[in-house]
Amino acid sequence: MNRIKIDVASALADRRLQATLFPALQRSVESRDEAVSEVENWEELRDYGRRVKLHTLEKLPFYLEKLEKNVVGHGGKVLWAESGEDAVRMILTIARERAVRKVVKSKTMLGEEIHLNQGLLKGGLEVIETDLGEYIVQLCDEMPSHIVTPALHKSRHDVAELFEAKLGMEPTDDVAKLTLTARNVLRRHFLEADLGISGVNFGVAETGTIVVVENEGNARLSTSLPRVHIALMGIEKVIPRTVDLSVLLKLLTRSATGQRLTSYVNLISGPKREGELDGPEEFFLILVDNGRSQIYEDQFLRQTLTCIRCGACQNICPVFQRLGGHAYGTVYQGPIGSILTPQMFPIAAVEEHPFASSLCGACEETCPVKIEIPKILLRLRQQVQEARNHGIQRFRPERIGMLMWAWVVSSSRRYAIASRWLRRLQSVLFRNGRFRPAVPPVSAWQKDRDVPGLAPKRFREYRESEGAEH
Would you tell me which residues interact with ligand SF4 (CB under 6 A)?
255, 307-313, 335-336, 366-369, 371
Name the minimum Å distance from CB 20 to ligand SF4: 21
* Residue 268 vs 362, nearer CB to ligand SF4: 362
Q: Which is nearer to ligand SF4, 223 or 314 (CB)?
A: 314
The residues pairing with 127 across neighbouring beta strands, listed in sequence order, are 103
HEC-encoded secondary structure of the chain:
CCCCCCCHHHHHHCHHHHHHHHHHHHHHHHHHHHHHHCCCCHHHHHHHHHHHHHHHHHCHHHHHHHHHHHHHHCCCEEEEECCHHHHHHHHHHHHHHCCCCEEEECCCHHHHHCCHHHHHHHCCCEEEECCHHHHHHHHHCCCCCCCCCCCCCCCHHHHHHHHHHHHCCCCCCCHHHHHHHHHHHHHHHHHHCCEEEECCCEEECCCCEEEEEECCCHHHHHHHCCCEEEEEEEHHHEECCHHHHHHHHHHHHHHHHCCCCCCEEEEECCCCCCCCCCCCCEEEEEEECCCHHHHHHCCCHHHHHHCCCCCHHHHHCHHHHHHCCHHHCCCCCHHHHHHHHHHHCCHHHHCCHHHCCCCCCHHHHHCCCCCCHHHHHHHHHHHHHHHHHHCHHHHCHHHHHHHHHHHHHCCHHHHHHHHHHHHHHHHHHEECCEECCCCCCHHHHHCCCCCECCCCCCHHHHHHHHHHHC
CA 339 distance to own-chain centroid: 9
Between 78 and 371, name the residue whose CB sits nearer to ligand SF4: 371
- In the complex, least distance from residue 212 CB atom to ligand SF4, rounded to whole angstroms: 17
Q: How many residues does the chain have?
A: 470
Give, in order, the Cα–Cα distances in Å from 462 to each of 413, 457, 468: 18, 7, 10
Q: Which residues pair with 285 in a beta bridge?
A: 78, 231
How far apart are alpha carbons 10 and 27 in whole angstroms?
24
What is the closest distance, in whole angstroms, from the C-beta atom of residue 339 to ligand SF4 in the complex? 8
- Given the complex with ligand SF4, which of 28 and 70 has the nearer CB atom? 28
Closest CA to 9 of 211, 454, 17: 17
Nearer to ligand SF4, 208 or 324 (CB): 324
Q: Which is nearer to ligand SF4, 88 or 152 (CB)?
A: 152
Pick the closer one to ligand SF4 by CB: 223 or 304: 304
Least separation in angstroms between CB 2 and ligand SF4: 26
In the bound state with ligand SF4, the residue whose beta carbon lies nearer, of 231 and 363, is 363
Strands 238-239 and 430-431: unpaired
Q: How far is the CB of 333 from ligand SF4 (least distance, A)?
A: 10
Least distance CB 468 / ligand SF4 (angstroms) = 57
Smallest distance from ligand SF4 to CB 236, Å: 11
Nearer to ligand SF4, 91 or 248 (CB): 248
Question: 71 vs 313, which CB is nearer to ligand SF4?
Answer: 313
What is the nearest approach in angstroms of ligand SF4 to the Cβ of residue 43? 15
In whole angstroms, the minimum distance from the beta carbon of 427 to ligand SF4 comes to 49
The distance of closest approach from Cβ of residue 216 to ligand SF4 in the complex, given in angstroms and rounded to an integer, is: 20
Q: Indicate the residue among 17 and 369 with the shorter CB distance to ligand SF4.
A: 369
CB of 367 vs ligand SF4, minimal distance in Å: 3
